[in-house]
Amino acid sequence: MLPRNPVPLDPAATAVSSPAAGLEAALGGGAGMVAGARSPPAGPPVAAPQPARATATAATISGSRLRLIVAVSSPRPSGLSDRRQRIVRLPLGDEGALLRTRGLGPNFARLWTANAVSNLGDGVTLVAGPLLAASLTRDPRLVAGLAVAQRLPWLLFSLVSGALVDRLDRRRVMVTVDAARCLAVGLLGVAVLLDATTLPLLYLVFFALGTAETLFDNAAVSILPSVVPKEQLARANGRLLGVQMVANELVAPPLGGLLFAAAAAAPFLLDAGSFAAAAALVAAMPGRFRVERPAGSPPTTLRGEIAEAVRWLARHRLLRIMAVAIALMNLTLSATLSISVLYAQERLGLGPVGYGLLMSSVAVGGIAGSLAAQRVIGWLGPATTLRLGLVIESSTHLVLALARSPLLVAAIFAMFGFHAMTWSVISVSLRQELIPARLLGRVNSAYALFGVGSLSLGAVGGGLLAARYGLTAPFWCSFAAMSLLTLACWPILTARTVAEARSQAATEGP
């Protein structure tokens, strides 16, 4: 469900200060009088007339304007009233400011629903894909190659995708990509129905899905500041990340397994339908979501635009340290998760069901974090919350290195999930707030390269450490690395640094 709390009106997004003032201005009246109301006749003094009253009897929304049918009641000297109807159109502003007083706006509702639908389908495919690969081969290296095929595009195309997102209309990019994903997964589903699936075809489809993801995810992050006001970014990101976790990590895995067991093609056909529905929802968002280039600006190349974004990120003190931090955090996380099934079986004594429940505790903490993130950030501030997140991350690895109780590990996993979600909300919201609109896609892609690139390295490193020094070795090494990172980031992640970054963003403008 979308939140229904009132959102403060964005003064810059509308031409009037309030609906009442806008109605008064649209009717052409001054303080209490409506244009067109009959004035008292000249002559002897009479009792002061009552001011005309305007009452809205119907309202409709068309594009970015609110259409009111207003009944205007103007008293006559005789004591009778003169009633007429007028049609008034009020501007809602480029961002739909009046609508946001009742929530995050209809465009965000469409975006949220599209996110929920596509993540459900995506999660189903991510479960069904390895199951399909395992039915074609029992070689673990070939099955693992499916994950490599999906992640490889992030290393190859992330920066180029960011540059394209900054050049094109972001809504159209999302619609086109979802349509392409619908076609790709739909063709895979048909191939499964016809019993014509091969490993190369599976690799090709997952590589195409990964490539499309680099464009879609970048556009989705970059479009949000045009959909909700700046002060609501944390709330909006929390809702989007929360529904992503529910759909992708809680609902989709068991659903994908059940559908694959019932009919191997069903998960892929469901995913194709989810992408089609998501494309239709995003296509229904009115407006333009393209960053216009200043008139007279010289032509540029993709390579030059990418270099500009990388230089911008390298010069930005706060986002630079956060990019390095997320790289090391993902490196250590991937190192420990890569052997988590062995850790659960051999150290905690859990079976398949227990392992599944253990991993779901991360999602439970993450969902709680998505709901509470805005309040936590508002209470502690982003800098303090990030600092505490580093402490939680370091402590998680230490506890896991020492623990043998499944309940204790489940509790620390839930706390980690809460921290990871809160960190993500802060990270995404700060980038949307601090990065100029014209650079948002490119800088986000450079930032993502840090996080995604380190995942593959961490998985390899975790396996090697565990094989040579034992199952707890990745946790001890991760604890040491995260402790050093916490010490290095502590003097930089301060309220003053965040305030300076916001001031710099206000000075730079779009």
The H or E element spanning position 359 is: helix 352-380
Tell me the per-residue pLDDT of 356-400, one tens digit each, with 9 for 90 and over: 788 778 888 988 998 898 899 999 999 999 999 999 999 999 999
Residue 430 has what pLDDT? Answer: 93
What is the rounded CA–CA span in Å between residue 432 and residue 427? 9
Q: Give every strand in the sheet of 65-75, ordered side by side.
A: 53-62, 65-75, 81-91
Specify the 3-state DSSP secondary structure of 496.
Answer: helix
DSSP state letters, 237-273: HHHHHHHHHIIIIIIHHHHHHHHHHH-TTHHHHHHHH
Confidence of residue 30 (pLDDT cuts 50, 70, 90): very low
| Alpha carbon distance 122, 177 (integer Å) | 13
Which residues, at least 6 apart from 34, have a Cβ–Cβ distance to it below 8 Å? 24, 27, 28, 51, 52, 53, 54, 72, 74
Residue 324, pLDDT above cutoff 50: yes
Which pLDDT value is given to residue 454?
83
Q: What is the pLDDT of residue 33?
A: 33
Per mean pLDDT, which range of 66-75, 257-266, 305-314 is the poorest?
Answer: 66-75
pLDDT digits (tens, 9 = 90+) for 214-243: 999 999 999 999 999 888 888 889 889 888
Find the length of the chain: 510
User: Which residues are CB-neighbours of 161 under 8 A, at least 6 positions away?
Assistant: 214, 215, 218, 441, 445
Q: What is the average pLDDT across 137-165?
A: 85
pTM (two decimals):
0.70
Longest Cα pair distance anywhere in the chain, in angstroms?
Answer: 106
- Reported as a single tens digit per residue, the pLDDT across 462-509 is 888 888 898 899 999 999 999 999 999 999 999 999 999 999 888 876
Question: What is the mean predicted confidence (pLDDT) over 196-204?
Answer: 95
Q: In what helix (H) or strand (E) does residue 335 lie, and over which residues does it extend?
A: helix 317-337
Residue 89: which pLDDT band, with cuts at 50, 70 and 90?
very low
How would you classify residue 51: left for phi > 0, otherwise alpha for psi between -120 and 50, otherwise beta? Answer: beta
How confident is the model at residue 81, as a pLDDT?
A: 43
Query: Which residue carries 């392992």 as its tokens?
Result: 355
pLDDT above 60 (res 21):
no
| Segment 406-415 mean pLDDT | 94
Lowest mean pLDDT among 21-30, 80-89, 330-339, 347-356: 21-30
Q: Output the pLDDT for position 509.
A: 62
Calculate the average pLDDT of the chain. 79
Which H helix or E strand runs over 85? strand 81-91
User: Six-digit token pair at 218?
Assistant: 């970048």
The CA-atom distances, in angstroms, between 217 and each of 84, 152, 177, 193, 222 are: 52, 15, 10, 30, 9
For the chain, count helices (H), then strands (E). 17, 3
pLDDT for res 8: 29
Q: How much is the pLDDT for 323?
A: 94
CA pair distance 318, 196, nearest whole angstrom: 51
Q: What is the pLDDT of residues 264-322, one digit of tens each?
A: 999 999 999 999 999 999 999 998 888 877 666 777 888 999 999 999 999 999 999 99
**pLDDT at site 162:** 93
Ramachandran region, residue 76 (left: φ > 0; alpha: ψ -120 to 50; beta: rest): beta
Digit-coded pLDDT (tens) for 416-474: 999 999 999 999 999 999 999 889 999 999 998 888 878 777 877 888 888 889 889 99
In the predicted structure, residue 41 carries a pLDDT above the cut 80: no
Gyration radius from the chain CA atoms? 27
Find out whether 108 and 238 touch, Cβ atoms under 8 Å. no
| Short-list 138, 163, 135, CA closest to 308 | 163
Could you identify the residue written with the tokens 């995506």? 122
Highest mean pLDDT among 39-48, 57-66, 254-263: 254-263
- Tally Cβ neighbours within 10 Å of residue 480: 14
Give dist(CA 96, CA 299) in Å, integer: 33
pLDDT surpassing 80 at residue 100: no
- SS3 of 429-459: the string is HHHHHHCCHHHHHHHHHHHHHHHHHHHHHHH
What six digits make up the tokens of 465?
A: 């450490």
pLDDT at 254: 84
User: Which of 30-44, 211-225, 245-259, 382-396 comes out lowest in average pLDDT?
Assistant: 30-44
Question: What confidence score (pLDDT) does residue 356 get?
Answer: 73
pLDDT at 329 over 50: yes
Kindly state the average pLDDT of the residues 142-169: 88
Q: Which residues of 202-215 are buried (b: 16+ CB within 10 A; e: fewer)?
A: bbebbbbbbbbbbb
**Quick check: helix, strand or coil at residue 97?**
coil
Under the banding of pLDDT at 50, 70 and 90, the label for residue 510 is low
